Structure 1
Amino acid sequence: MLSVPGRGRSHADRVAEAVNSKVCAATSGIAASWRRSMVYHGLDPASRRSAHRVEDGSLRQARERSQDLIRIAMPTLERLYSTLGSSGCSVALTDTDGLILEARRAAGDARDFDSWGLATGAVWSEAMEGTNGIGTCAAERRAVVIHQDQHFRTDNIAMSCMGAPIFDPTGQMAGVLDVSSCRRDLELPYAQMLGLIVAESARAVESDLFRSAFHGCRIVVAEGHGTAGVSLLALDKDDVIVGATRQARKALDLTDALLAAAPSAAPYLGEQEGEGRGTERAALRRALARAQGNVSAAARDLGISRATMYRKMAQHGLSD
């Protein structure tokens, strides 16, 4: 819980005091988010308003844009709800703008969640709601736990929100998985435990997204896989890296430009070149990629004649 002077004052006063405190803003992630909410987004913590909801047509379009994410994430979302739904929790899947695409909550908790506007079609970006589990997670691209009065708006301090980002197969953010609790007696340690469950579930969805995108490829675990994130590589039949998750890109310094050059997986997996499969074909492909398809330049790169290059390409079923 954020500690600021004047604990007995109203929530709105304490938010304002933390925002104006250089020490709090510099040392507390919550205070930094409060500052963004008040200074950059112009929000008032004491304002009374319901969450913004998009029209049905806009929601339908957003769901179409995220149809792969929804399809792959739904089993995980349903499992989370079946485990936590009876304990006063709602489970939500959002896009990168904080728009709730899918939500599950028990009928007995519907009044509480509806009063906060935590339902399908509502927008919970930081720009709209200030500090919250969905919007702050999306803004900072990391898992967050926003426990009760860590929320920006006074209207939201009775709930706790645990959000975790989901990254797509190219390393870009795809959405947020969120669990929110309406239990007023929810202690911070329990909220943090729920946060770990949500983060692990988001990593499972990210892994499933990656495997679906590279169906038919060999998927291997790379450096950095674990609590830090999903670090996976997709290899084709020549052991060329054709895909990498966000964590794998960070851990191995893989960029789009490097991936476009058809890199061999061997050096990234601690193997000697030649230990993998299809090494000559892979070398030809890498040379062609570096030369942007120019056969003569690729042949010079490999130190062979243009005629030999064409012969080897035909042997391995490669076109220029």
Structure 2
Amino acid sequence: MQWMASNMPAEAGGPAGPGTDFSMIERSRQRSFELYRLDPGRGEPPRVLTTSALKNHREPMERFMRIARSGMEVLFGQIREAGYVVLLTDTHGVAVDFINNPLFDQDWRRAGLWLGSCWTEEKEGTCAVALANLEQRAITVHHEEHFRAPNKKLTCSAVPIFGTDGRMLAVLDASAIESPDDKRSQHLVLQMVRSAARMAEDANFLHEFEHHSVLRLARRRDFLEVSADGMVALDEAGRIVAISQSLREQGALLPALGHCIEEVFDLRFEQVMQAAHQGGYPLTTRHLATGTQCFALVRPPRRRPSAPAAPSAAARREVPPEAGADALQVIAGLDPQMQTNAQQALRVLDKGLAILLHGESGSGKEAFAKAMHEASARRAQPFVAVNCAAIPETLIESELFGYREGAFTGARSKGARGKIAQAHGGTLFLDEIGDMPQAMQTRLLRVLAEREVTPLGSEKPIAVDVQLICATHRDLREMVAQGQFRLDLYYRLNSVTLELPALRDRADKNALIDSLLREDGRQLYSRAVAITAAARDLLLRHDWPGNIRQLKNVLRTAMALSGGEAIAPEHLPAEVHGGQPPVLPPERMLSLGSMQEVMVAQVHDERTALLQALKTHHWNVTEAARSLGLSRATVYRHMQRWEIVSPNRLGD
């Protein structure tokens, strides 16, 4: 706005005067030689941080990265065909986000234009990102202006992005490996980066003050809705609490911070509120200090979400340390790795950190998550488990976020609360998170960042407070590399990762067998069931691809076949015998006369075992067959032979 431009200081980020870039670059080159003693001929590309080191830079930037992403995508769409990559770096020069053409991944990597790359003057010498950070102004560093030899083919245009308090948040950069020699060819690119950076600043301002009234100001009424000159945020009393970076750079409104709107503009706060409630029609006003006329459009404050009743102090009572230790110690058993997991879990519980459990299917991830819940201060509140792989993709959105009445055909008349809202105050366990559809990954990321959920068909968000625990058997890092899992969600979920060992690797298999025989034996026979040394040896030597879940099913089946007597090798499935049917010892061979009676009893026991396995696995034939060491075809044949009908087919 012209009525403010006269106050803009030369170093605040406005248009650079002749020779400004040149003097900045010369000062940087001098520092690179004399202060950092860099070798301009050093040949390796810029350093790229490891995944764990990069996480420390990304986590503080998560909210802003999500806001800036749209501007980055717009910028990339404008310059993609010209061979550019778009980087967002933090104030340490580390690339925390980037967009590129994947066809040229190897070229970008070799040039150091990659996620986690470090562009600092201390390491790279003169480069655009480093100068934008140091000088806090927009700049293009072109070809030979770069200090180090490997960077001299690059052209880089970088623009600082400022927060609502005027401090730097990030740097937006557009770089290309090949470009014309004339630096003037980059003037338009720099302006595009400036525009995208301003979009990110304005979007961040609107998000930061979404619960405040915001005035969009412009000298020209025609441009008010599409390209405002700046924004002002007002509190409930009409005081100016913030101004956007575009106005901050011009300086004229800085003294207005903390003053009422009437003291700065020829405008009453009642007029602002009336305009907001009546559809936001433009207001005509003038800046009292300069007398300059301008126009204002009011964005009303967003109503704060009403949170469900917070758990009472009694409900959220502190759990004694020994109670938490006991809950996790039981699940950890005597295995050193599991005991380490239990100790780490106790340290991070109730710290607001998301926890990721990684382990093979059946290794006890949900049981461990329940133990963590019991060990936390949320133990009196709900533990809500969601298997992301078991819910059809068409239903997972309504299952997680809920819906209001009439949201879709077939919706309940009163709507439904989603699993996330049901877990308010307690623990939300997302099992098989790697199988969550990508569209839902985006929505989940927003829920985690905003701590609120909006049901389908509703515009009113609901505040939620949950301890998030996720689990997967998949390699999420590999899925990220293949574009199957969002990188930002991955970093959000694995604040703490606990590796649960496979059963074959656990040192306490003996103790686990005894524990299951004791627990399940009491359920079936009101006492612990014994096991012979030969049968135990078979169990200890088996590799258990289904882990604890498989062991439990094998033991329950063996208990049924043994009739509550000591489990012997012949009661164990063929898979435990290496695929061969069990051989009875000579002393247990039966006469032909008694064989028919035994066969009848064996059929009864086998039918009972199959029925129990089907019920345990909720009539999932594949899982039941795996637990019994049989093929699916064999299970179906036995079901037909013994007239076992799934409850889902009773009405057929």
TM over 0.5: yes
| Structure 2 letter corresponding to 1:56 | T
For residue 268 of structure 1, what is the aligned residue in structure 2?
264
Shift of 1:114: 1.5
SS in 1 for 2:198: helix
Is contact 2:120-2:129 (8 Å) kept? yes
Secondary structure of the residue aligned to 1:121 is: coil
User: What is the aligned-residue identity percentage?
Assistant: 26
| Counterpart AA for 1:157 | K
Q: Deviation at 1:215?
A: 0.3
**Structure-1 separation of matches of 2:107 and 2:85:** 10
| Alignment correspondent of 1:154 | 149
Task: Quote the residue 1:189 is aligned against.
Answer: 184
Alignment match of 2:171 (pick from 176, 182, 202): 176
Counterpart secondary structure, 2:170: strand
Which stretch of structure 1 is more off in the superposition, 235-244 or 172-181? 235-244
SS at match of 1:134: helix
Aligned counterpart in structure 1 of residue 25 of structure 2, from 2, 16, 30: 30
Segment of structure 1 superposing worse, 231-240 or 120-129 = 231-240
Matches within 5 A, 1:1-320: 28-185=23-180, 187-221=182-216, 231-250=230-249, 251-252=251-252, 254=254, 259=257, 262-269=258-265, 271=266, 275-277=267-269
Which amino acid letter does the alignment assign opposite residue 179 of structure 1? A
Tell me which amino acid in the other structure corresponds to 1:177.
L
Look up the SS of the partner of 1:28 in the other structure.
helix
Question: Which amino acid in the other structure matches residue 88 of structure 2?
Answer: L
After superposition, the C-alpha distances for 1:240-265 in whole angstroms (9 at most, x for unaligned) are 1111234434513637xx74xx3113
8 Å Cα contact 1:217/1:235 also seen in 2:
yes
- Displacement of 1:230 after TM fit? 7.0
State the Cα RMSD in Å: 2.8
Q: Report deviation, 1:25.
A: 11
Structure 2 counterpart of 1:254, one-letter code: L
User: In the aligned structure 2, how far is the partner of 1:79 from the partner of 1:27?
Assistant: 30
Q: Which moved more, 1:183-192 or 1:66-75?
A: 183-192
| Structure 1 unaligned residues grouped into runs of 5+ | 1-23, 280-320
Q: Distance in 2 between matches of 1:70 and 1:230?
A: 24
Q: Distance in 1 between matches of 2:182 and 2:56?
A: 38
Q: Mark the structure with the bigger radius of gyration.
A: 2
Aligned-residue offset at 1:40: 2.4
Q: Which amino acid aligns with 1:214?
A: F
> Contact 1:160 / 1:182 at 8 angstroms: preserved in 2?
yes
- CA pair 230-62 structure 1, distance change in 2 beyond 3 A: farther
> How many equivalent residue pairs?
246
Q: Deviations over 1:36-75 (max 9, x none)?
A: 2222222222222221222211211211100111000111
For 1:146 and 1:34, the matched residues in 2 are separated by: 12
Q: Secondary structure at the match of 2:53?
A: helix
Contact 2:45 2:150 in 1 (8 A): no
| Structure possessing the higher relative contact order (Cα contacts under 8 Å, 6 or more residues apart) | 1
1:118 & 1:208 partners in 2: Cα distance?
A: 26
Give the unaligned 5+ runs of structure 2: 1-18, 272-652
Residue 223 of structure 1, CA deviation? 8.9
1:78 is displaced (CA, Å) by 1.5
**CA shift at 1:179, angstroms?**
0.3
Shift of 1:28: 1.9
The amino acid that maps onto 1:252 is A
Using the TM superposition, give the Cα deviation of residue 30 of structure 1 relative to its aligned residue in structure 2, in angstroms. Answer: 1.4
Please give the secondary structure, in 1, of the residue aligned with 2:92: coil
TM-score, scaled to structure 2: 0.35
1:145–1:161 contact (8 Å) kept in structure 2: yes
- For residues 186-213 of structure 1, what are the alpha-carbon distances to aligned partners after superposition, in whole Å with 9 as ceiling and x for unaligned? 5322211100100111011001001100
- Pair 1:222–1:32, CA change in 2 (3 A): farther
- Alpha-carbon distance in structure 1 between the residues aligned to 2:21 and 2:132: 19
Q: Are the equivalent residues in 1 in contact too, given 2:111–2:177 (CA < 8 A)? A: no
- The SS at the match of 2:158 is strand
